[in-house]
A and B are shown apart, each in its own frame.
Chain A
């Protein structure tokens, strides 16, 4: 598995996509800090970008990589290698290189601008951790989609739809249900609804750590009581881990059964 992981990783680096992604974040980080010059303010702006872009890039990259390396995968399948290690290796290669680009790309400018001297270090590391989780989750989901669809166009379509659903449509449905059922106590409902969407979960997790959480008022107080405690943080981290593990597990399971 490690060999395949290494191969996928180097393949991505050689194809320069990792560099492009890395440079994009590097530039973003520098420009943000150059315009803002305040680490904690830049974290807020960055959050807006991370919760939208990271899942999108993870999804597109995952699908693209799977379809692109399909022939090589089939070649590998002919070898005496366990199927799970082929797919897991490929997945970890892609997700790993994307995560590395994200963490390094954003980390370097922030460190250079004095992150360690700033008290935003915890917020920033939370941002990077959720960003890494989002990359892992969405790459895994897109691998699943690609594995289940032989047709590339269909696969791409589903992958984009998935991103659209979790990033936009889910919130719309969430909003509608909040408005329709506004006569009822909605605190636990909204807590649950945030838990079931990794993007919303990351957004709330970061928002509550930043001082704009004061805008959230009473509902925010309920959320803060939950997420603000260590238990809440552990539960949400568990939830993100679950969101990562479930698609990976399905990937392994599906790949064993699939007829190539």
Chain B
């Protein structure tokens, strides 16, 4: 037993020092990636030189590094899946993958990771894809700095950019996803960190997640997606410093929250969305330091939302600040800045002396009878809004911001 450490050391040295780098190119010894993978031993590096490789169904079943030089093109010729990783410790770096097959029965992906750990997928460019990067029951990985540009037209025959399914502790960082069905999609994936991504011009959602708890989203940009961002059935989510912009359309939201509990939403910017945040059945959420700018509805509360707090948010130039469909209110609005606030501050302490009522009578009426929205921006509506503001009758009388700020919260 004395030699055991030595044996391990030797094994270790063998794996790391004797790990080979195999070049792959059209006039090298190894001409295809598949061949390279089959010949390689564990912990080898395949250096894929610039060129076009018409390959699909590349199965990576041992710990390898696939390193592309000057973005070699892997053309799947619409045949099916391109790379499938079924081994731990695989790194994919610097590839340009195009033409993933479209299927109505199988979710073909450009890169699929199945039941593997410690993977790293970075600097990959995907075009003409069905599904992009598909992580399936694979924990502890990193998806970093990839660019996914789809050309999806219809929802039924397009896939998602980055999809996580039962994959925990994954970091998704600095990716750009465009023109697919859902930009980033998570299901049953806990402790995932999603930072600095840009998800834009997607058919359905920029970010879509369900049943995924304890996830953190920071500094992402979601822009001009068909329906914005949908967040459902999850607990203890943190969303910090994200930007939701220009999700504009009759059924578009900046963010849709459904059955989200104990979340923290702070420092986000919601700009020019039809509905900034649509909240349904979500409790104990703290909204702080968010900016709601030029939305149709800044916040639309649809019921069963209790003990949410809105503090130090900026509501700037929205058509409707808050919309409520019930007279019951258990949510707290305090120390927000409202651009529609017309009160005064005599003692100059920066807090308005008259409370602000964010629910306009018109938004109350529209909730009751949606057809009345055709009277948007008519003089009559301005007049009754004003009279309701002076003496509230219909809107929930406890729904007010007792300390509206006179200047924008930073």
Using CB atoms and an 8 Å cutoff, list the residues of chain A in contact with chain B: 47-48, 51-52, 167-169, 171-172, 174-175, 178-179, 182, 186-187, 190, 194, 200, 203-204, 207, 211-212, 214-221, 223
Q: Among A51, A172, A216, which residue has its beta carbon within 8 angstroms of that of B373? A: A216
* Residue in chain B with minimal CB distance to A169: B380
Interface-centre pick from B250, B319, B371, B377 (highest chain A CB count, 10 A): B371
Q: Which of B38-46, B57-65, B362-370 forms contacts with chain A?
A: B362-370
Please indicate the chain A residues that have their CB under 8 angstroms from the CB of B249 in the complex: 214
Residue contact B365 to A223, C-beta cutoff 8 Å: no
Which residues B368-383 have CB closer than 8 A to chain A?
A: 368-381, 383
Residue contact B374 to A190, C-beta cutoff 8 Å: yes
Residue contact B373 to A52, C-beta cutoff 8 Å: no
* Residue in chain A with minimal CB distance to B372: A178
B239 within 8 A of A: no
Residue contact A218 to B370, C-beta cutoff 8 Å: yes
**Given A171-B375, A207-B377, A220-B373, is A215 in contact with B383 using a C-beta cutoff of 8 Å?**
no
B395 within 8 A of A: no
Interface-centre pick from B297, B369, B378 (highest chain A CB count, 10 A): B378
**Given A171-B380, A171-B381, A182-B369, is A218 in contact with B375 using a C-beta cutoff of 8 Å?**
no
B172 within 8 A of A: no
What is the distance, in angstroms, from A245's C-beta to the closest C-beta of chain B? 25
Using CB atoms and an 8 Å cutoff, list the residues of chain B in contact with chain A: 248-250, 252, 274, 296-297, 319, 365, 368-381, 383-384
Please indicate the chain A residues that have their CB under 8 angstroms from the CB of B374 in the complex: 190, 194, 204, 216, 219-220, 223
Residue contact A175 to B368, C-beta cutoff 8 Å: no
Residue contact B380 to A172, C-beta cutoff 8 Å: yes
* Residue in chain B with minimal CB distance to A170: B380
Please indicate the chain A residues that have their CB under 8 angstroms from the CB of B296 in the complex: 212, 214-215
Please indicate the chain B residues that have their CB under 8 angstroms from the CB of A168 in the complex: 379-380, 383
Please indicate the chain B residues that have their CB under 8 angstroms from the CB of A220 in the complex: 250, 373-374
Residue contact A207 to B372, C-beta cutoff 8 Å: no
Give CA–CA (A48, B376) in the complex, Å.
11
Q: Among B252, B274, B297, B372, which residue has its beta carbon within 8 angstroms of that of A179? A: B372
What is the distance, in angstroms, from B131's C-beta to the closest C-beta of chain A? 30
Q: Among B274, B297, B371, B379, which residue has its beta carbon within 8 angstroms of that of A171? A: B379
* Residue in chain B with minimal CB distance to A47: B377
Please indicate the chain A residues that have their CB under 8 angstroms from the CB of B373 in the complex: 215-217, 219-220
Residue contact A219 to B250, C-beta cutoff 8 Å: no
**Given A175-B380, A182-B369, A219-B370, is A214 in contact with B250 using a C-beta cutoff of 8 Å?**
yes
Residue contact B380 to A215, C-beta cutoff 8 Å: no
Give CA–CA (A167, B379) in the complex, Å.
7
Residue contact A207 to B371, C-beta cutoff 8 Å: no
* Residue in chain B with minimal CB distance to A214: B274
Residue contact B380 to A207, C-beta cutoff 8 Å: no
Across the A-B interface, give the 9 residue pairs with the lowest CB-CB distance, nearest first: A171-B380, A215-B296, A182-B369, A186-B371, A171-B378, A214-B274, A168-B380, A219-B371, A178-B372
Please indicate the chain A residues that have their CB under 8 angstroms from the CB of B379 in the complex: 51-52, 167-168, 171
Give CA–CA (A51, B296) in the complex, Å.
21
Residue contact A207 to B375, C-beta cutoff 8 Å: no
Interface-centre pick from A167, A178, A186 (highest chain B CB count, 10 A): A178
Please indicate the chain B residues that have their CB under 8 angstroms from the CB of A194 in the complex: 374
Give CA–CA (A190, B371) in the complex, Å.
8
* Residue in chain B with minimal CB distance to A52: B379
Please indicate the chain A residues that have their CB under 8 angstroms from the CB of B381 in the complex: 171
**What are 21 A-B interface contacts by the 8 Å CB criterion?**
A47-B377, A51-B378, A52-B379, A167-B379, A168-B380, A169-B380, A171-B375, A171-B381, A172-B384, A174-B375, A182-B369, A203-B378, A212-B376, A214-B274, A215-B274, A215-B319, A216-B374, A216-B376, A217-B250, A220-B373, A220-B374
Give CA–CA (A186, B319) in the complex, Å.
24
What is the distance, in angstroms, from B353's C-beta to the closest C-beta of chain A? 27
Give CA–CA (A200, B370) in the complex, Å.
18
What is the distance, in angstroms, from A16's C-beta to the closest C-beta of chain B? 29
Give CA–CA (A172, B381) in the complex, Å.
8
What is the distance, in angstroms, from B111's C-beta to the closest C-beta of chain A? 36
Interface-centre pick from B365, B374, B375 (highest chain A CB count, 10 A): B374
Please indicate the chain A residues that have their CB under 8 angstroms from the CB of B377 in the complex: 47-48, 203, 207
Residue contact B248 to A214, C-beta cutoff 8 Å: yes
Residue contact B248 to A211, C-beta cutoff 8 Å: yes
What is the distance, in angstroms, from B354's C-beta to the closest C-beta of chain A? 25
Please indicate the chain B residues that have their CB under 8 angstroms from the CB of A200 in the complex: 378
Give CA–CA (A212, B377) in the complex, Å.
10
**Given A171-B380, A179-B365, is A212 in contact with B319 using a C-beta cutoff of 8 Å?**
yes
What is the distance, in angstroms, from A91's C-beta to the closest C-beta of chain B? 26
* Residue in chain B with minimal CB distance to A219: B371
Please indicate the chain B residues that have their CB under 8 angstroms from the CB of A214 in the complex: 248-250, 252, 274, 296
Residue contact A207 to B252, C-beta cutoff 8 Å: no
What is the distance, in angstroms, from B323's C-beta to the closest C-beta of chain A? 11
Give CA–CA (A179, B369) in the complex, Å.
6
* Residue in chain B with minimal CB distance to A172: B380
Give CA–CA (A215, B369) in the complex, Å.
14
Give CA–CA (A223, B375) in the complex, Å.
12
Give CA–CA (A108, B219) in the complex, Å.
43
Please indicate the chain B residues that have their CB under 8 angstroms from the CB of A169 in the complex: 380
Give CA–CA (A144, B327) in the complex, Å.
48
What is the distance, in angstroms, from B377's C-beta to the closest C-beta of chain A? 6
Give CA–CA (A194, B373) in the complex, Å.
12
Please indicate the chain B residues that have their CB under 8 angstroms from the CB of A179 in the complex: 365, 368-369, 372
Give CA–CA (A220, B376) in the complex, Å.
11
What is the distance, in angstroms, from B376's C-beta to the closest C-beta of chain A? 6
Give CA–CA (A221, B274) in the complex, Å.
14
